[in-house]
Amino acid sequence: MSEPALAPRNAFHGVLAVWIVALLTSIALGVFVAEDLRVGWLLISFGGIVLLSFAVQLWYARPQGFIVRVAGSVIGALMLMGLVSVGFGLAALATVV
């Protein structure tokens, strides 16, 4: 007889954790990195976020919906980082004028 499956962990917490890390990373880069170096560091940090999303979803050890969860993590992180960088870009334009 097969044993009943245990209640799986909620995988959305992993997606949310990646989004929070992406948000905090992009804010920290916007505050602490010079304007001319910011885009390069945002690209490097986004690569780290992609690796983090894979690691978090592999840690959950649930094969069902793996691609959807990783895609949700990465796309959400990309959108958050983009919005924060647009905000810092507009702030830089406002200080020039």
pLDDT of residue 65: 86
Provide φ and ψ at 54, rounded to 5°: -60, -45
Q: Confirm whether 36 is domain-assigned.
A: yes
Mean pLDDT of the 49-76 span: 92
Q: Confirm whether 1 is domain-assigned.
A: no
Residue 7 pLDDT class (50, 70, 90 cuts): low
The pTM of the full predicted model, rounded to 2 decimals, is 0.84
pLDDT of residue 5: 61
pLDDT of residue 64: 86
- How many helices and strands in the chain, by DSSP H and E? 3, 0
Count of residues in the chain: 97
Where in the sequence is the domain holding 24, given as residue range(s)?
Answer: 12-96
Q: Confirm whether 3 is domain-assigned.
A: no
Radius of gyration (C-alpha) of the chain in whole angstroms: 17
Coil, helix or strand for 93? helix
Number of domains in the chain: 1
